[in-house]
Structure 1
């Protein structure tokens, strides 16, 4: 067509590349007519439809010569294009006339017998092929399913009816439920003639009717449309009303009056008078006979209950098609048109989601299996799901009903399966082991576990925090009960020796499992610090080295002092033993206070000198004038007739003994045999009484026969 301006064409929406003048749709195809693009100037001859299809194309071999005028009829006629020329916003590119590749421009209102338009016809397929996926695992065809059990209410005529009963007679209460409402969802979640709770995407509306009126409270929040959310309404009689969304308080209304007595049937999914039906999904509905706190709601809102919880008077989990009250009250409902539903439009954070592999039949897969049970979305399959398959080489099967498709591909990114890796050969630990150090990296939820063997891999051990346990060296056992790097790094020398039991060899095995593809889990090395062995006797001449204000000379003096203390205590023990033998006293208890484990600390107020291993007199202000050291109780045999006390002390100290566990005390002189004939009691305690600053107690021993 010629003798028409660009402006006229634009008036009927044929010039703009994005505006379509004719659209016809039938047999899954759409046809669109518009102008082609032509390049913004005479140099732009690459990225436009005129050059691509008219100048340079043979139309997939349909014509022998690109740009053939007998086909395109471009000669002596300029063709409007949809492209704005660089010359100005009112100029459009025109093509053809003198040659097929010629490019020029004209104002939009130009009209000439040499100017016309050559429309492009676009044919677009509207057909969307059906694509379904299944898995083949050990000769069986399976699908992976994730869903949340619930009940569906259509907002028109669906509800549950629960007859009123004595167990549902409440003053204070809490109503909880998981709900999923559409963006235009309305209606009452639960209602009777005293209490009604409406749930919308941005509001919970509560009605509490009283004998003389009622309370009407609105609680608003950001939209929860089309996602599972937890709603809780908590009412304290004559006090407050609080609404919680996903465990977080929305608002509290105070000065709430007591609601009237409930006399009507309870309705779930509509207002009790028969209108305002609820639209949406409901799961895990609970009614309690008291006002629950925020912490109580959060504690178990994502957990299924067993029905025996204190204060729970009605509980519908909606986990099965049949709705029953799981409490002992058995407030079972009558179902009116509401239906059991498995919601598959769920997120990873939604509670009570069931994930499972479902076997559809034996291989090979049939078209019916694909069309009835085929999967649309593979993204729901994570590493844990793949690990549940029995075969190490499962097959992913794909069905597509497009006959023009001869092949297709699916990108599958897999995380390697956990592996148990065994060390080859043993480590020589004949020099002893002081410590172990594992240098490892474990990111996120990935797993690294370690086991050890001291007999060349015949038996394997793991440390459970208290003792070494034998473990089966398979992946499942090591993953469950092997040692983490922190456990290995925390092993003491004594615990390592308990493992070795004199063995000179040690080897390890490692279980490594990646949780996500980008996680890093590895063992760089295990360092073994051997027990120190002296190969030369160190000598010291006249050199003096200062370190942290302590000198070698001072350290040697400390060692000499410690040796002197130890020798003195050893001498005391020897003397006590000789004295006992001399007087034919056969049993001996010695405490030289290397520690205070033998002292009754609760009844001792003298000061313990941990350096010199002795008790001394406390000279601080407020200290008692007489200070005591009391030993732990000792059981004497009933035949005991003689008793002697041995002491190692300086200064002013008196001693006493008791045969009734410290109820009554008797004085005693050290190194003197006491005749116990006629005295009763076998609960022996000994007390030292330090009387002034000269007193120092280094040891007590006593013997009897």
Structure 2
């Protein structure tokens, strides 16, 4: 059976993970992402993920609601809940909560379900992180079911970013990722954090069981594969303004193009991508000589004359460290 792997199972009877506090977990803006599959319907509210004292708390209710709590200077326990019957019992669902200090959001399967305004400034607590149990510091409110691919980011991710990564394993080196617990393997009852933060947790009671993951959830980490896919050099417009080079992400992960460069061999011209430019899997963008095309990104060399020669030229794509990523040559 495809995609059957060991996944951590919580039996609802004092099964949980405890992760000690660390500086990397004391974050203000955040995103929490995870996959869950309940085993039956819980009794009341149960804790899924978060720090004690209500930093980035994710809860689950017997009425089929997802709860989102956070701590601010105006409220020790700010609350936002979805409507009832949102959760599909005994089925895999991807849940995400985000908070940028202004708006707190809840996503299910990559779709925005509810959002609430944030009053006051977010507060970071120096408390332990709990997975699979109540988030109040008291015993009880234990989750029953499977959990996998738990991710904690130090920024509020967009819906597009969540969707781009939700069906893929990560490497642990992604920008802004401060905690990553796949929960598909463990040694000595330790839930290993695959980021450099080393926020490892102690597993209490929960055991690994073979489970079939959602059909599209790949076992392998997602990888961005960016290349020059086209180079239009036979210009028709005045001063060759319509020349362009096209860049495509043929991989499975979002590519951060901040500081990447496109260079012309013949004329030694170059274009540098601004900070924050992302290229989603399957997406293409074009950098024109001197024509503005917002539908393809709106990027321009701003060259008074043509960038590319009609013969014997080569376009080279370099990453932010100057490593060659891709080339495209004109015969």
Normalising by the smaller structure, the TM-score range is 0.5 to 0.7
User: 2:33 touches 2:152 (CA, 8 Å); kept in 1?
Assistant: yes
CA pair 602-281 structure 1, distance change in 2 beyond 3 A: closer
Q: Structure 2 residue aligned with 1:174, among 9, 28, 31?
A: 31
> In the alignment, what sits opposite 1:257?
120
Mapping for residues 498-577 of structure 1, pairs under 5 Å? none
Are 2:68 and 1:217 equivalent residues in the alignment? no
CA distance in 2, matches of 1:171, 1:145: 39
User: 1:178 touches 1:230 (CA, 8 Å); kept in 2?
Assistant: yes
> In the alignment, what sits opposite 2:195?
327
Secondary structure at 2:142's aligned position in 1? coil
Q: Structure 2 residue aligned with 1:287, among 140, 147, 152?
A: 152
Higher RCO, Cα 8 Å, sep 6+: 2
Are 2:49 and 1:190 equivalent residues in the alignment? yes
Gaps of 5+ in 1: 1-143, 355-596, 604-705
Instruction: Give the superposition deviation at 1:297.
Output: 0.2
Instruction: Give the superposition deviation at 1:602.
Output: 4.0
Q: TM-score, normalised by structure 1?
A: 0.29
Q: Deviations over 1:6-41 (max 9, x none)?
A: xxxxxxxxxxxxxxxxxxxxxxxxxxxxxxxxxxxx
CA distance in 2, matches of 1:602, 1:219: 56
User: 2:19 touches 2:128 (CA, 8 Å); kept in 1?
Assistant: yes
Q: TM-score, normalised by structure 2?
A: 0.59
CA distance in 1, matches of 2:167, 2:207: 23
Are 2:217 and 1:351 equivalent residues in the alignment? yes
> In the alignment, what sits opposite 1:203?
65
Q: Structure 2 residue aligned with 1:165, among 18, 22, 36?
A: 22
CA pair 353-166 structure 1, distance change in 2 beyond 3 A: closer
Instruction: Give the superposition deviation at 1:287.
Output: 0.2
CA distance in 2, matches of 1:146, 1:241: 33
Secondary structure at 2:162's aligned position in 1? helix
Moved over 6 A (4+): none
Secondary structure at 1:187's aligned position in 2? strand
Mapping for residues 33-182 of structure 1, pairs under 5 Å? 147-182=4-39
CA pair 247-293 structure 1, distance change in 2 beyond 3 A: same
User: 1:241 touches 1:256 (CA, 8 Å); kept in 2?
Assistant: no
CA pair 353-275 structure 1, distance change in 2 beyond 3 A: same
CA RMSD of aligned residues (A): 2.5
Instruction: Give the superposition deviation at 1:319.
Output: 2.3
Instruction: Give the superposition deviation at 1:300.
Output: 0.7
Instruction: Give the superposition deviation at 1:231.
Output: 0.1
CA pair 242-145 structure 1, distance change in 2 beyond 3 A: closer
Secondary structure at 1:308's aligned position in 2? coil
Instruction: Give the superposition deviation at 1:341.
Output: 2.0
CA distance in 2, matches of 1:256, 1:305: 33
> In the alignment, what sits opposite 1:248?
111
Mapping for residues 393-432 of structure 1, pairs under 5 Å? none
CA pair 163-300 structure 1, distance change in 2 beyond 3 A: same
CA distance in 2, matches of 1:602, 1:260: 56
CA distance in 1, matches of 2:114, 2:61: 16
> In the alignment, what sits opposite 2:166?
301
Structure whose residues are more often helix by fraction: 1
CA distance in 1, matches of 2:106, 2:3: 30
User: 1:153 touches 1:159 (CA, 8 Å); kept in 2?
Assistant: yes
Compare CA radii of gyration and give the structure with the larger one: 1
Secondary structure at 1:167's aligned position in 2? helix
CA distance in 2, matches of 1:353, 1:330: 22
User: 1:228 touches 1:350 (CA, 8 Å); kept in 2?
Assistant: no
Q: Deviations over 1:582-630 (max 9, x none)?
A: xxxxxxxxxxxxxxx9xxx749xxxxxxxxxxxxxxxxxxxxxxxxxxx
CA distance in 2, matches of 1:257, 1:219: 22
> In the alignment, what sits opposite 1:233?
97
CA distance in 2, matches of 1:146, 1:207: 33
Q: Deviations over 1:114-171 (max 9, x none)?
A: xxxxxxxxxxxxxxxxxxxxxxxxxxxxxx6751432111112011111110111100
> In the alignment, what sits opposite 1:336?
204
CA pair 159-311 structure 1, distance change in 2 beyond 3 A: same
CA distance in 1, matches of 2:92, 2:239: 60
Secondary structure at 2:78's aligned position in 1? strand
User: 1:194 touches 1:210 (CA, 8 Å); kept in 2?
Assistant: no
Q: Structure 2 residue aligned with 1:269, among 119, 129, 132?
A: 132
CA distance in 1, matches of 2:4, 2:71: 38
Secondary structure at 2:71's aligned position in 1? strand
Gaps of 5+ in 2: 221-233, 241-331
Q: Deviations over 1:631-674 (max 9, x none)?
A: xxxxxxxxxxxxxxxxxxxxxxxxxxxxxxxxxxxxxxxxxxxx
User: 1:160 touches 1:268 (CA, 8 Å); kept in 2?
Assistant: yes
CA pair 255-166 structure 1, distance change in 2 beyond 3 A: closer
CA pair 191-251 structure 1, distance change in 2 beyond 3 A: same
